[in-house]
Amino acid sequence: MREIVLDTETTGLDPAKGHRIVEIGCVELLNLIPTGQSFHVYLDPERDMPEEAFRVHGLSAEFLTGKPLFAAISGELLRFVDGCKIVAHNAEFDMRFVNAELAQVGLPAIEAERVVDTLALARRKFPGGANSLDALCQRYGIDLSRRTKHGALLDAELLAEVYAELLGGRQASLSLGSSGRTSLSTSGPLLASRPEPLPLRLSAQELERHRAFVAELGLEAIWASYDQAPNG
């Protein structure tokens, strides 16, 4: 299943008061695994940057001057998120801003039923607990060393890991490197053993043909790990 994890940075808290998006970061997931495809853009908000917002994300008005306007990237953004669920933390905030920007350029809003709010998921799973993105990363042992300030793409990458954990976690843990590539590392044995092995269903001839086939693949073949694992 394809999903998009989305995060924004803004000039303030309320688009109705003239605040605008200044950064959008999106990460594509396929069955909870980042594919390496992302969408990231800085935007010129065509207004000043309040000091409170600057302290959060470090994006100055000078840095953003000359960056694209939302109208210029709206089509590309909509194509990237087309036809799939959008995952965001405190999604009401991000989607209120995204939909306000879409309205300004005459485009329809993204429907609420397409949006998954990880803050709501976390509150159901940890009622009364700290459920900010930082707190959830710490709870799940996700590396926060790169996060000195809020950044839309980095926060989307971190949220992708948190989202997978909120849905039950994986035996393979995600590691999102600075290159944008995704690596997987297993925290346990490749195969778990059953308390009682299942009865063997292959004939001796079939087993021999299989071993001959694996031998042709070389020592690095994944089947070698299966053959060395306990039965069952």
Q: Which of 19, 57, 150, 210 is catalytic?
A: 150
- Please give the Cα distance from 114 to 79 (Å, whole number): 15
Rounded to the nearest 5°, which phi and psi values hold at 227?
Answer: -65, -30
SS (H, E, C) 152-214: HHHHHHHHHHHHHHHCCCCCEEEEECCCCCEEEEECCCCCCCCCCCCCCCCCHHHHHHHHHHH
Both tokens of 27, joined, read 């990460």
150 an active-site residue? yes
For residue 219, give both structure tokens.
């020592």
- 200 near 231, Cβ under 8 Å? yes
Number of residues in the chain: 232
CB 119 within 8 Å of CB 131: yes
Classified as helix, coil or strand, 10 is strand
The three-point CA angle 19-25-31 to 5° equals 135
Annotated active-site positions, please? Answer: 150
